[in-house]
Structure 1
Amino acid sequence: MMRITDTVKHLIIINVILCLTTVVLAERGIDLFQVLALYFTDHPNFGFWQPITSMFMHSVSSPTHVLFNMIALWMFGSRLEMQWGATKFLAFYFITGVSAGLLHTIVNYYGVYSNVNILMDAGFTQPNIMSTLAEGKYIVAWENILSPEQFKTFVNSYRVPAVGASGAIYGVIVAYALTYPREEIMLMFIPIPIKALYLAGGLLTYDFLAGFFERTGIFREGNVAHMAHIGGAVAGFILMWYFNKTQFNKNRWD
C-alpha cells in the first residue's frame, strides 16, 4: 500500500475537518456553504475567495462525495508529490482546482444570461429578472417562455453553488495518467485492472458526454458539476505540457 505524503495528508485533513464542521454548524443554524461554496458571480452570496474555499467543501448529504475524492487524492496525489515535491504538487493542485471553478462559472454565466436575453425579448427587464432571482424567487410566466430544460438550467445556474475537490482531483488524475500511462489501477467498483491512461480517458469522456446531454435534457444526474471536472482536467493537461516543454523539474520548486 502506498504511503500517504505530507501535503496530501494535510489536504485530506482539511477537507474532512471542514466537512464535519459544516455538519456541526448546520445543526446550530449556521450554513457554512453560504460563505465558502462557489456561487454564481451575480449571486448575493458570491465572494472572491470562493474559487479556493469551495475546493475544501463537500456535500454533507452524500458522504461518498468527500470519501471518493479523498481516496483518489491519496491514490494519485501521493505518487505525484513523491516525484515532484510538496511545493510543485500544491501549486498544481490549486491551479487545477481554481481552473475547474472558472470553467464552471463561465458555463453557468452562459446558462443564466442566454436565458435572461430570452426573457428580455419577452418584455422583462434585466434588473427585474436579476432582483427576482436574488430574492430566491421566480416569475411563473418564465415557465411559459422558457422550455423546461432552459428554465432548469437558468435557475440552477444562478442558485446552486459548486463544492468539492473534484476539479483538482481530475487534474491530478490527468497528471498521473500522463506520467504513468501504462500503470494498471484496480478500482473498488471495477474488479479488473485498468491502465491509468484509459481510466483518465474514460472519466473525461463520460463527463463531457454527461455534461452535454444533461443540459439538453437527455440525461439527468442531479447536481454534478461535469464542466468543473473538465476544467480541472484541461488545466492539468496544460500544466503537464508546460512542465514537459520547459523541463520544470522539482528541483526548481524546492
Structure 2
Amino acid sequence: MTQYRPPLLNLPPVVKNLLIINVIMLLGTYVLQSKFGLNIDNYLALHFPASDYFMPHQFITHMFMHAGITHLFFNMFALFMFGRVLESVWGPKRFLLYYMITGIGAALIQTGVNWFDYSSMKSAVDAFSNTPTPELMSEFIKNHVGEVRPWVQDFINSWAEYPNDASATNQAVILMNRMLEGQINGATVGASGAVFGILLAFGMLFPNTELMLLFPPIPIKAKYFVIGYGVLELFLGFQNQATDNVAHFAHLGGMIFGFILIKYWQKNSNRFY
C-alpha cells in the first residue's frame, strides 16, 4: 500500500532545506527583535563596505534574510516552483553551487552599484557644503533620496523664505550628512538575486515551456518571460534605483552570473547540465 506523503516531503533536498532555513530565519528575526530588542539585520544583512556594520560574511548571510512575509513568500514561491525542477535536472550539489554563486554574484553587482551611488551622493553633499542653498537641497533629495519626510520639506520651505539664516544653513548641512550616512548604513536582504538566477536557468533549460502569468492571465514561453523580466529590471534599475528601495541590479546580477556559469558548464561538458 502506497503511503501518502505531503508535497514538501517530495521536494529535492536542497530546495526543501533552503525553504526551511529562510522561514526559520524570518521567524527568528521577529522573535529576537520583539523579545530581546536584537536586530540581527545589523549582523547578517548585507551592508555597504564603508559602514561600521559591514562584515564579509554578509555576502552569504543576506540571502537568508528577508524584509517581511510578503518578501519571503514571493522569493520562496519562485524557489519552490522553478528550483525543484533545476535540482532534479542538475542534482543537489550543482544546484546548491549555482544558487550560492548567483546569490553572491548578485550581492557583488549591487555593492558596486551602491558604491557609484554613494560616490555621487558624497560629491553632491560636498558641493552643497560649499554653497548650501534650499534649491540644491531639494535637487539632492529628488535625485538621491526620492520621497522625503514632511518635516524635512517644511524645513526646506522655511529656509527658502530666509536663505541667509545661518542657523538654518548649518542645520541643512547636518541633515545632508545624515542622509549620506543613511546611504552608508542601508542594508540589502533577500534571496532575490539567487531566485532571478534560477529564473534565468529555467528559461535557458526549458525555453519553450509555457508559463501562466497572473497579471495579465496569459501564457508566455519561459524564454520570453526571462528576457522581458530582465529588460524590466534594467529599466527599473536606472529609473528607480534611489527611490523604490528595491535592489534591481542585484536581480540583474543574479541573472548575469547565472548566464556565465551555465555557459561555462555548457562549454566544459558534453551535456547542457
Q: How does the TM-score come out when normalised to structure 2?
A: 0.77
CA distance in 1, matches of 2:240, 2:233: 10
Whether the 8 Å CA contact 2:44–2:58 is kept in 1: the answer is yes
Larger Rg: 2
1:197 correspondence with 2:190: no
Distance across 2 between alignment mates of 1:9 and 1:189: 28
* 1:166-197 deviation digits (Å, cap 9, x = unpaired): 00000011011000000012244542222111
Counterpart residue number, 1:148:
141
Q: Distance in 2 between matches of 1:54 and 1:249?
A: 33
Q: In structure 1, what residue type is equivalent to 2:83? A: G
Name the counterpart of 1:132. none
- CA shift at 1:89, angstroms? 0.5
* Alpha-carbon separation, structure 2, partners of 1:198 and 1:185: 10
Alignment-derived partner of residue 13 in structure 2: 6
Distance 1:55-1:249 versus aligned 2 partners, 3 A rule: farther
Q: How does 1:8-87 map to 2 (within 5 A)?
A: 8-28=15-35, 29-60=37-68, 63-87=69-93
Q: What is the deviation of 1:150?
A: 3.6
How far has the Cα of 1:248 moved from its partner? 7.2
Distance of 1:160 and 1:142 partners within structure 2: 26
* CA-CA distance at 1:144 after TM superposition: 2.8
Q: Identity percentage over the alignment?
A: 38
1:225 aligns with 2:247: yes
Q: Is the 8 A contact 1:37 1:53 kept in 2?
A: yes
Distance in 2 (CA, whole Å) between partners of 1:230 and 1:84 is 22
Structure 2: runs of 5+ lacking an equivalent: 1-6, 147-178
Helix, strand or coil for the counterpart of 2:56?
A: coil
- Rate the CA distance shift 1:233–1:250 in 2: closer, same or farther, 3 A: closer
Stretch of structure 1 that moved more, 111-120 or 95-104: 111-120
Q: Which runs of 5+ in 1 are unaligned?
A: 125-138
| Cα distance in structure 2, aligned partners of 1:5 and 1:189 | 29
Determine which of 117, 136, 140 is the counterpart of 2:123: 117
Alignment of 1:147-186 (within 5 A): 147-152=140-145, 155=180, 157-186=183-212
Decide whether the 8 Å contact of 2:106 with 2:194 is kept in 1. Answer: yes
Question: Structure 1 pair 249/23, CA: closer, same or farther in 2 (3 Å)?
Answer: farther
* Separation in structure 1 between the aligned mates of residue 184 and residue 89 of structure 2, nearest angstrom: 40
Q: 1:229 is aligned with what amino acid?
A: H
Note if contact 2:128-2:137 (Cα within 8 Å) is conserved in structure 1.
Answer: no
Give CA deviations for 1:204-227 in whole Å, capped at 9, x if unaligned.
111110111114x7xx5x311001
Q: Secondary structure at the match of 1:96?
A: helix
Q: Alignment RMSD, CA only?
A: 2.6
Aligned length: 231
Q: Distance in 2 between matches of 1:158 and 1:150?
A: 17
Task: Note closer, same or farther for the CA distance 1:174–1:23 as it changes in structure 2 (3 Å cut).
Answer: same
Write the distance in 2 (CA, Å) between the matches of 1:248 and 1:142.
Answer: 62
1:224 is paired with a residue whose SS is coil
The letter for the 2-side match of 1:230 is: L
1:53-91: CA deviations, max 9, x gaps? 00000012xx22100111100111111111111111000
Residues 171 and 106 (structure 1 numbering): CA distance in 2 closer, same or farther, change over 3 Å? Answer: same
In the aligned structure 1, how far is the partner of 2:272 from the partner of 2:223? 23
- DSSP 3-state at the match of 2:67: coil
Q: Which amino acid aligns with 2:117?
A: G
